[in-house]
Amino acid sequence: MRAIRFIAGNRVARIRAAIGCALVGGCVAAAVATAGEVARIRWFSAPDHTRVVLDLDGPADYEVRRVGAPERLAVNVPAFRFATAETIAVNDGLVERIRCNEDARRAQVVLDLAGAAPWRSFALKAADGRPDRIVLDVLRPEPAAPGSREPAAAGPARFRVIVDPGHGGLDPGTIFGEQFEKDLVLDVAQKLAVLLQAVPGYEVVLTRDGDWYPSLGERVQTAVEHDGDLFVSIHCNSHRDEDVRGMEVYFLSLQGATDREAQELADAENAADLVGLAAGHDTSDAVLSILMDLHMARVLRQSSRLAECCLAAAKAQDIETRRIKQAQFQVLRSLAMPSLLVELAYLSNREDRRLLTSDAGRRKLAAALAAGILDYRRDVDAVAAITAPPQWSTHYKVRQGDNLWRLARKHGTTVAEICERNNLRSERIQAGQYLSLPEGRPAS
């Protein structure tokens, strides 16, 4: 059995006063009163994890215990009680059910797991109309090698790019009419992933691949946990002057912003993450450790060169560009790897908006970023392949079990592009149907 105790701030005195007991040896003595309430329990399944969220009516300390035979996780919240205690069926392959136990000392939430799985937890402060929360993620284990009970053997070293589509979920980002920044940047990020993963030796990890909101801390954690070699955060811009347009690329400044506009943008992007970092992660400590790290200067030089490569690639594809700037973006300053924040274009500008809201325009933007990353890596031949327009043919006959997502992935394109090229009104395809697909990349 393993227990990890999390202290979300200096609230021992408050708990002690509320429950009339002392904390001795890490255990809470008998309670005579409650300090708060677990108002609601929510959950959802993502492709790589299941998230369970405890909505609280105030801040709380908490403890997570892992118990085996059968596998389960127990979240203990001292001096709290449940507004409603119920069992929630999940059955998504990771979590079977969520149970509530309550006694005089604490509220306990138990996750019955389908098997052993890694996990993480963090606390989120109340902000933007949302309550204090405790979040527990059960992560989907890496698949084992075929015919083996052991994890798949490590392959050759790969260059891993962490792509971060900005905003998501309740945070739409910049809005123009029915166009949301969160949707546009996710599509560009997915297109970028397809392009890079088609190049031997490259791997892409997305911080989100759907419409949910990873906190700043989670985006950083994704990059660190996946041992990223490079980090690119993708956004759209907006300006009160509708004539302002063009791609801007930012990298970290430890001294201050390049100009007032850069500072305002950094303030806006940093403010979007109102929940802050995970419990126990102090931003000042993170910055101090980076400043004291001798290799940070090298990382900043690499980030500067990466920025130059991406902007040059955009210019080469006739994408309007502005210039490289520096600012203190929270999501960049917590990472000791070459990192950029790219403002693709301005939704407030008519020409830029046309680029952002068309599938062909987003393909062009993704290709520019891919070419910039490859140029940074001196992969000249791959740059030529990325930037050359794909040739399409009508020779592919749909087989039983095919779907557009798999075909798009194998052919280095997107579902939207296949639908557009083939005049498909839906994503449904049938065996025996003929499709136009990019040449040179067989789908077998």
pLDDT interval class at 55 (50, 70, 90):
very high
Please identify which residue in the block is written with the tokens 């449904």: 428
Residue 143 and residue 153 in contact, taking contact as beta carbons nearer than 8 Å: no
Rg (CA), the chain: 24
pLDDT tens digits, one per residue of 239-260? 999 999 999 998 875 554 444 5
Query: What letter would DSSP give residue 108?
Result: E
Of residues 239, 250, 236, the one with CA closest to residue 181: 236
Distance, in Å, from the CA atom of 352 to the CA atom of 265, rounded to the nearest integer, reads 18
Please identify which residue in the block is written with the tokens 């959950």: 43
User: Which residues, 6+ apart, have CB-to-CB distance to 24 below 8 Å?
Assistant: none
Coil, helix or strand for 191? helix
Q: What pTM did the predictor assign?
A: 0.53
Q: Is the dihedral of CA 435, 436, 437, 439 positive or negative?
A: positive
Give me the amino acid identity at 123: A
Please, what is the Cα angle at 144 between 139 and 148, to 5 degrees? 150
187 φ, ψ to 5°? -65, -40
Residue 419 and residue 433 in contact, taking contact as beta carbons nearer than 8 Å: no
| Order of strands, sheet of 202-206, starting from the edge strand that comes earlier in the sequence | 202-206, 159-165, 230-237, 339-346, 247-252, 321-327
Q: Is the dihedral of CA 388, 305, 267, 54 positive or negative?
A: positive
Residue 276 pLDDT > 50, yes or no? no
pLDDT tens digits, one per residue of 85-134? 889 999 888 999 999 998 888 999 999 999 988 888 888 888 778 899 99
Least trusted range by pLDDT, from 10-14, 29-33, 406-410? 10-14
For position 373, what pLDDT does the model report? 95
Q: What is the mean pLDDT of the chain?
A: 77
